[in-house]
Structure 1
Amino acid sequence: MNFDLQFGAHVLKAKMSGQPIVALETTVVTHGMDYPHNIDTALAMEQAVRDAGACPASLGIVDGQPVIGMSEEQLRAFAKSPRGSIAKCSRRDFPALIGLGKSGSLTVAGTMILAAAASIDVFATGGIGGVHRGHPFDVSADLLELGKTPVTVVCAGAKSILDLPLTMEVLETQGVPVIGFGCKNLPAFYTRDSSIAVPHSVANVDEAASILTAWRKLLGNNGMLFTVPVPEDAALTNDEMEKVIDTAIKAADADGVHGAAVTPYVLGKVVELTNGRSLNANIALLINNAKTAGEIAVRATQ
């Protein structure tokens, strides 16, 4: 896609100086959390990237304009917007939002597309989308984008509300390298270990940076995943989460929730059923992923 990009001043400065840049998504601001948790988390992620020595670039569409490095004012406007007033933007949504001058927060797939257009190849998020439980025909566009857009995504695995074995199968089919960061099994978002082995793992930032450097030299057309477990002090247990997720998914089915509405509905129900502890885990992993992405990006430039 050929975008007319608007760059934030801090991102332009980083590009001119050669400072590594880490892309950040904005659906967490408009759909993932309520105010003020959404803006507090978004700003904390940006600060975590800065503390690692990299430049944060929160990506979104503001009144039809793709923005690489939204300002705090723009992020706050997104955070305070009524739920549903700003669309989630994936690959299919760019023409309509840009053509009609509407605002959009970017999904993982949407962020990857704009990041690649801006020559940013490291991106930190919470968890990627995947194959929905009980609905194997419902495959997130995130997985397909990872198969064709060269951006490295640092995440806490796929959201544990999904069918993780099938998600890993699709990633394999798409040729996406999945690298465990400090883990040999796929993290499951709220929990640290899904018991599903990942094909490769690294112990530290140096090893991760070596893989990122090799991936860049290969000049492939596919993305790559570094999967980072949620910090231990914020993690929930597998047994508890399985029960909670099962209840939340059944509620979504009973209420007739489908498509893009499923994930925010189920995540909201999970927060309710865990008395907010899943929200704390979500915030912790988002900030940790931003920090890790910044550290990997910086080390890969040294």
Structure 2
Amino acid sequence: MGIRLSEEVAEALDAGRPVVALESTIISHGLPRPDNLRIAREIEARVRANGATPATIGMVGGELLVGLDDSALTRLATSDNVLKLSVRDLAAAAAAGADGATTVASTSAVAAAVGIGVFATGGLGGVHRDANQTFDESADLTTLARTPIVVVCAGVKSILDVGATLERLETLGIGILGYRTKRFPGFFISDSGFDLDWSVQSPAEVAAVMRAQDGQGLHEAGIVVANPLPADEQLDPALHDRVLTQGLAMLAREGITGKGVTPALLAHFHSATEGQSLAVNVRIILHNAELAAQIAASAAAIE
């Protein structure tokens, strides 16, 4: 099976109207039920309110859909058999007729393939702690190195090795623009402690960078727009640091490694912050959906 666009998304792309890609992993695997379905609808509504068409991407019955209708959205939000699909999984899952939620990597790849230039997510994947021993690095990074799309995110989760992730982004030629900041955000917190070379102040400036990259034609890498939460909306930094230290100690104590690290740490954050981290997570994706729609609208106006 190939890729099927919803009528709304197809018409918007044909008319040159702004479209924003949205992932489905956050719906199926990142948010608890039943709030996940409500929040998925809120994310799409936030995109619409800022002048763009939302295109949530996922797989239903082996078919990749760009622009899930409410029935498909509900299916991915409520089913117990939704697979988490990165780029390498897409063909096998399609052949198996599976239901699947797309990650940052696979959402970026599918969106770019159909001509969508802007994607909103929560946080980018990155290099894991102790990656020098485990070689554990998100496919988000290598996918963005060959995928021409703008990804609006709140940096990477501080449970990752932020410094190493920034080094890999540089090596892979992926540009980073701090949105109204010169510091790279740390997802739950607004400042991860690392400086950025480039900063933009408006959606129009991001659109200008997109156009300049297209005009140069030198490479097809993505651009990361690092959009921190306002300081008064972030997780309290002192609480964050304390919970992170406790979580890392828990991993060592319980021998959790590999793919189990991220879900274990996120679950620990949710429990130890009494749900505050989840509330921050929701604010992040809504914040990013709003900015992504404004960027897409500015890029469409330039075109």
TM-score normalised per structure 1: 0.94
Which residue matches 1:111? Answer: 107
Letter in 1 for 2:210: L
Evaluate the alpha carbon distance shift between residue 254 and residue 63 of structure 1 in structure 2; reply closer, same or farther with a 3 A threshold: farther
CA contact (8 A) 1:231 1:284 kept: no
Which residue matches 2:121? Answer: 125
Letter in 1 for 2:51: G
Evaluate the alpha carbon distance shift between residue 209 and residue 247 of structure 1 in structure 2; reply closer, same or farther with a 3 A threshold: same
Q: Which runs of 5+ in 2 are unaligned?
A: none
* Deviating more after overlay: 211-220 vs 110-119: 211-220
CA contact (8 A) 1:181 1:203 kept: yes
> What's the CA shift string for 1:211-265, capped at 9, x where partnerless?
1221232342211100000233320133321221232233344444443343223
CA contact (8 A) 1:185 1:198 kept: yes
Which residue matches 1:8? Answer: 6
Q: SS at 2:101's partner residue?
A: strand
Q: SS at 2:266's partner residue?
A: helix
Shift of 1:75: 1.1
State how far apart, in whole Å, the 2-side matches of 1:90 and 1:253 are.
27
Q: SS at 1:149's partner residue?
A: coil
* Deviating more after overlay: 210-219 vs 198-207: 210-219
Which residue matches 2:228? Answer: 229
- Counterparts in 2 of 1:4-43, with a 5 A limit? 4-43=2-41
CA contact (8 A) 1:156 1:187 kept: yes
State how far apart, in whole Å, the 2-side matches of 1:114 and 1:147 are.
15
Which residue matches 2:168? Answer: 170
Which residue matches 2:150? Answer: 152
Evaluate the alpha carbon distance shift between residue 103 and residue 261 of structure 1 in structure 2; reply closer, same or farther with a 3 A threshold: farther
Q: SS at 2:194's partner residue?
A: coil
Match for residue 57 of structure 1 among 55, 58, 67 = 55
Which residue matches 2:96? Answer: 100
Letter in 2 for 1:147: A
CA contact (8 A) 2:37 2:74 kept: yes
State how far apart, in whole Å, the 2-side matches of 1:62 and 1:256 are.
36
State how far apart, in whole Å, the 2-side matches of 1:97 and 1:27 are.
15
Letter in 2 for 1:132: H
Which residue matches 2:290? Answer: 291
Aligned residues with identical type, % of pairs: 38
* Deviating more after overlay: 123-132 vs 200-209: 200-209
Evaluate the alpha carbon distance shift between residue 87 and residue 205 of structure 1 in structure 2; reply closer, same or farther with a 3 A threshold: same
Runs of 4 or more, structure 1, over 3 Å off, are 252-261
State how far apart, in whole Å, the 2-side matches of 1:36 and 1:17 are.
36
Matched, 1:248 2:247: yes
State how far apart, in whole Å, the 1-side matches of 2:223 and 2:7 are.
28
Q: SS at 2:158's partner residue?
A: coil
Q: SS at 2:110's partner residue?
A: helix
TM-score normalised per structure 2: 0.94
Root mean square deviation of aligned Cα: 1.5
Which residue matches 1:197? Answer: 195
